Amino acid sequence: MIRWLKDQYAVTVLGQKRIKVDGVESIGAPSVVVQGYASRLVRKVLATLGLIFVYLHLGRLAWTLWSNLHAPADRITNSADLKSKLREKHFDLIISHDLVLLPLAFDVRNNAKVMLDAREFYPRHFEDRPFWRLFKQPMMDYLCAKYLRRCDNMITVSDGIAREYHKRYGVHPSVIMSLPDSHDLSPSRVQNEKIRIIHHGIVSVSRRLEHMIEMMDYVDPRFSLDLMLMPEKSWYWDKLTEMTNRRKNVRFIPPVPMQEVIPFTNRYDLGLFLCEPATFNLAYALPNKLFEFIQARLAVAIGPSIEMKKIVEKYDCGVVSRDFAPKSMAEALNQLTEDKIMYYKTQSHKASHLLNGETNSKRIRELVRELIGD
């Protein structure tokens, strides 16, 4: 989005780290201060639950979120400096890429328009985790109820998430899918006795990544699975590692930089994402990895995820298992022939010319132009 807008507008970027893009001003703020609702939220939750330990947990969380900035001396060092610097800019438009930054956006807006890029349905993001539901979900709901209808525009990533925002908060987000940059690639050839599967992404318990590893117990010997995950120190990472080490047809491979993911994965045959709908956001997920599979000219293999299924069936670029069980996905893969995989890869090649960042860049420029003109 920065690249799409920087040549036509004077763009300033506020983030945890400074970025280096020609023609763009960057402000580094490692711990952005969000103010205006903490004390009211604490009172609200306490009144509902009446528990002392809730106060202690929320107090610690509030201290983390709203404590003064602790940036190095060459960066903004406190919330007053930050807000003063932003107010002096007199922006025409503020685009927030996180719900919790909306209070800051409205605090410094002057007469600026405000647009939210909501990549999730925030009030149900980690609803499968009891701690999150108890201590963070009320904050997300509060922020949505208070700020969403004040935004001049709002975008999100899938139809299902957009409908839920409308149902709960009366807003009408535009849907901008997570499309990657276009790449000049061709489908790689398929070797029937050596079919390579790739899954890449983050390590998240909610995604039940172990199901894709278990799936490999039921596939034909011709299949192998590479997992390109961001490593972390956790019990879940240890579990996945142990499961992988016990199987000859699964392995971890080192992650590559984000801009290299698509050309690197072009050598594979199938892009896999078996994602059990453990949360609302996973049920209606339309992740960037799906479109990266397509842009890499891979055949796609997914479970019956609502939004992903619509894309795969519309462009006829892969298989959808009948349910989210590992064995069901294996059965769908085992039915694939060399010719069928090549057909799906060719379909992805065709779809890649439509499902790429150029489509999004045009739409984003239109939305910005509707708000503030050229």
Q: Mind listing the pLDDT tens digit for each residue in 347-374?
A: 999 999 999 999 999 999 999 999 998 8
d(CA 199, CA 278): 19
What's the average model confidence in pLDDT over 195-221? 96
What's the average model confidence in pLDDT over 114-127? 95
The pLDDT score that the predictor gives to residue 44 is 54
Out of 47-56, 59-68, 125-134, 274-283, give the one with best mean pLDDT. Answer: 274-283
pLDDT tens-digit series, residues 51-90:
444 444 444 444 444 443 333 333 344 677 888 889 999 9
Residue with tokens 């023609």: 23
Nearest to 31 by CA among 14, 12, 13, 55: 14
Q: Where are the alpha helices (DSSP H) in the chain?
A: 2-6, 38-49, 52-66, 79-89, 102-107, 130-135, 137-147, 159-169, 210-215, 235-245, 261-265, 280-283, 288-295, 306-315, 326-334, 338-352, 357-372
Burial grade of 108 (CB within 10 A; 0-12, 13-18, 19 or more)? buried
At residue 322, the 3 state secondary structure works out as coil
Q: Taking 80 as the threshold, does the pLDDT of residue 341 lie above it?
A: yes
Tokens of 306: 């609502």
Higher pLDDT pick, 214 / 132? 214
Nearest to 39 by CA among 103, 123, 114, 110: 103
Taking only Cα atoms into account, the Rg of the chain, rounded to an integer number of angstroms, comes to: 23
**227 bridge partner residues:** 199, 252
CB atoms near residue 269 (< 10 Å): 27
Tokens of 95: 């685009």
Confidence of residue 31 (pLDDT cuts 50, 70, 90): low
Type of residue found at 189: R
Out of 45-49, 66-70, 131-135, 237-241, give the one with best mean pLDDT. Answer: 237-241
The pLDDT score that the predictor gives to residue 48 is 52
Type of residue found at 128: D
Lowest mean pLDDT among 17-21, 278-282, 338-342: 17-21
What's the average model confidence in pLDDT over 233-261? 95
Q: Taking 80 as the threshold, does the pLDDT of residue 30 lie above it?
A: no
The pLDDT score that the predictor gives to residue 289 is 97
Per the document, the length of the chain is 374
Residues 6+ apart with CB under 8 A from 83: 104, 107, 108
Q: What is the mean pLDDT of the chain?
A: 88
Higher pLDDT pick, 9 / 32? 9
Q: CA of 108: how far to CAs of 63, 93, 144, 189, 293, in Å?
A: 22, 11, 19, 54, 40
Confidence of residue 167 (pLDDT cuts 50, 70, 90): very high
Q: CA of 14: how far to CAs of 10, 21, 135, in Å?
A: 13, 13, 27
Q: Taking 60 as the threshold, does the pLDDT of residue 139 lie above it?
A: yes
d(CA 324, CA 305): 9
What's the average model confidence in pLDDT over 304-328? 97
What's the average model confidence in pLDDT over 39-51? 49
At residue 232, the 3 state secondary structure works out as coil
Nearest to 322 by CA among 262, 266, 274: 274
What structural domains and CATH numbers belong to the chain? 2-179+364-372 (3.40.50), 195-352 (3.40.50.2000)
The pLDDT score that the predictor gives to residue 60 is 44
The pLDDT score that the predictor gives to residue 186 is 97
The pLDDT score that the predictor gives to residue 66 is 43
At residue 239, the 3 state secondary structure works out as helix
Tokens of 8: 């036509």
Q: Taking 70 as the threshold, does the pLDDT of residue 92 lie above it?
A: yes
Nearest to 367 by CA among 182, 179, 172: 172
